[in-house]
Amino acid sequence: MADFDPWDPAFLADPYPAYAELRAEGRVRYFEATNQWLVPHHADVSALLRDRRLGRTYQHRFTHEDFGRTAPPAEHEPFHTLNDHGMLDLEPPDHTRIRRLVSKAFTPRTVERLKPYVRELAGELVDALVEKGGGDLLTDVAEPLPVAVIAEMLGIPEADRAPLRPWSADICGMYELNPSQETAARAVRASVEFSAYLRELIAARREKPGDDLISGLIAAHDEGDRLTEQEMISTAVLLLNAGHEATVNATVNGWWALFSNEDQLAALRADHSLVPSAVEELMRYDTPLQLFERWVLDEIEIDGTVLPRGAEIAMLFGSANHDPEVFAAPEKLDLTRKDNPHISFSAGIHYCIGAPLARLELAASMTALLEKAPTLRPTAPPSRKPNFVIRGLEGLRVEVG
Ligand code: HEM
Cα 351 to ligand 1 centre (Å)? 7
188 C-beta closer than 6 A to ligand 1 = no
CA gap 58, 47 in Å, rounded: 19
Atom of ligand 1 nearest to the CA of 288: 5
90 C-beta closer than 6 A to ligand 1 = no
| Confidence bin at 2 (pLDDT 50/70/90) | confident
252 C-beta closer than 6 A to ligand 1 = no
| Residue 192 confidence (pLDDT) | 97
Cα 358 to ligand 1 centre (Å)? 9
| Confidence bin at 82 (pLDDT 50/70/90) | very high
pTM of the full structure = 0.96
Cα 281 to ligand 1 centre (Å)? 18
If phi over 0 gives left and psi between -120 and 50 gives alpha, with beta otherwise, what is residue 68?
Answer: left
Residue 203 burial (10 A CB sphere; 0-12, 13-18, 19+) = exposed
Give the angle subtended at the CA of 274 by the CAs of 270 and 275, to the nearest 5°: 110
Average pLDDT, the chain: 95
With beta carbons less than 8 A apart as the criterion, state whether 75 and 372 touch: no
354 C-beta closer than 6 A to ligand 1 = yes
Atom of ligand 1 nearest to the CA of 361: 27
Each residue's pLDDT tens digit, 249-288: 999 999 999 999 999 999 999 999 999 999 999 999 999 9
| Confidence bin at 222 (pLDDT 50/70/90) | low
250 C-beta closer than 6 A to ligand 1 = yes
Each residue's pLDDT tens digit, 336-355: 999 999 999 999 999 999 99
Which among 233, 352, 391 is the best mutation to test ligand 1's pocket, defined by most ligand atoms within 8 Å of the CB?
A: 352
Cα 350 to ligand 1 centre (Å)? 8
Q: Which residues of 289-307 are buried (b: 16+ CB within 10 A; e: fewer)?
A: bbbbbbbbbeebebeeeeb
Atom of ligand 1 nearest to the CA of 56: 16
Cα 355 to ligand 1 centre (Å)? 7
357 C-beta closer than 6 A to ligand 1 = yes
CA gap 379, 293 in Å, rounded: 37
Mean pLDDT, range 280-305, rounded to an integer: 98
352 C-beta closer than 6 A to ligand 1 = yes
Query: 34 pLDDT exceeds 70?
Result: yes
Q: Is 390 helix (H, G, I), strand (E, B) or coil?
A: strand
Mean pLDDT, range 91-97, rounded to an integer: 94
H or E, element range at 12: helix 9-13
Nearest protein Cα to ligand 1, atom 39: 350
With beta carbons less than 8 A apart as the criterion, state whether 71 and 64 touch: yes
Cα 342 to ligand 1 centre (Å)? 14
